[in-house]
């Protein structure tokens, strides 16, 4: 287990599609150590999710966890979720405007349109098939991490470049309105 450096936007490794993990290898010491590194690195950086390629691992794995995160105090709790070889399916056309940040894009935020309901398929850290539905604000976190595995960072999804701002500007000018939006989604969906 180790805390690894999070690669930043512009690093060519982040632009590559992460390859699938052979399901028969998920239980190996190598893959389990990689999963531990993903979790440790996410937690050390106060992230709410982290994809393997963000820490230089060419593996189609991401983690999501929100537990009183100081970077995102408005995010609803999400227990630790490890997804190997994820597949996402949008369950409705309903979307929301998410003011996203990213450990690989330090000090920046921007608005990305995300779906409100997704089905997540893949394998858990023990190699067991998983399938669950994520609705509401938390669905955006899963889409964000999935994008990383395809070599996409949130700035690639921003449609209106005027929404880009620093973290400080977000906190000063945008956070109150955005938190109200998140609270409404949490009230409707529970997450």
Q: Which residues are catalytic?
A: 145
Q: How far is CA 52 from CA 34, 60, 111, 137, in A?
A: 8, 7, 24, 22
């Amino acid at each position: 287990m180790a805390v690894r450096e999070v690669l930043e936007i512009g690093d060519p490794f982040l632009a590559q599609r992460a390859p699938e993990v052979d399901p028969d290898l998920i239980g190996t010491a190598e893959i389990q150590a990689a999963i531990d590194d993903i979790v440790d690195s996410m937690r050390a950086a106060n992230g709410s999710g982290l994809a393997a390629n963000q820490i230089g691992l060419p593996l189609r794995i991401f983690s999501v966890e929100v537990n009183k995160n100081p970077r995102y105090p408005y995010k609803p709790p999400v227990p630790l979720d490890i997804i190997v070889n994820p597949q996402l399916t949008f369950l409705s056309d309903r979307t929301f405007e998410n003011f996203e940040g990213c450990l690989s894009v330090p000090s920046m935020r921007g608005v990305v349109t995300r779906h409100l309901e997704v089905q997540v398929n893949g394998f858990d850290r023990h190699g067991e098939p998983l399938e669950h539905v994520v609705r509401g604000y938390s669905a955006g976190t899963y889409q964000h991490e999935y994008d990383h595995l395809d070599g996409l960072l949130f700035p690639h999804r921003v449609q209106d470049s005027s929404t880009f701002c620093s973290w400080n500007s977000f906190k000063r000018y945008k956070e109150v309105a955005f938190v109200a939006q998140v609270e409404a989604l949490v009230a409707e969906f529970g997450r």
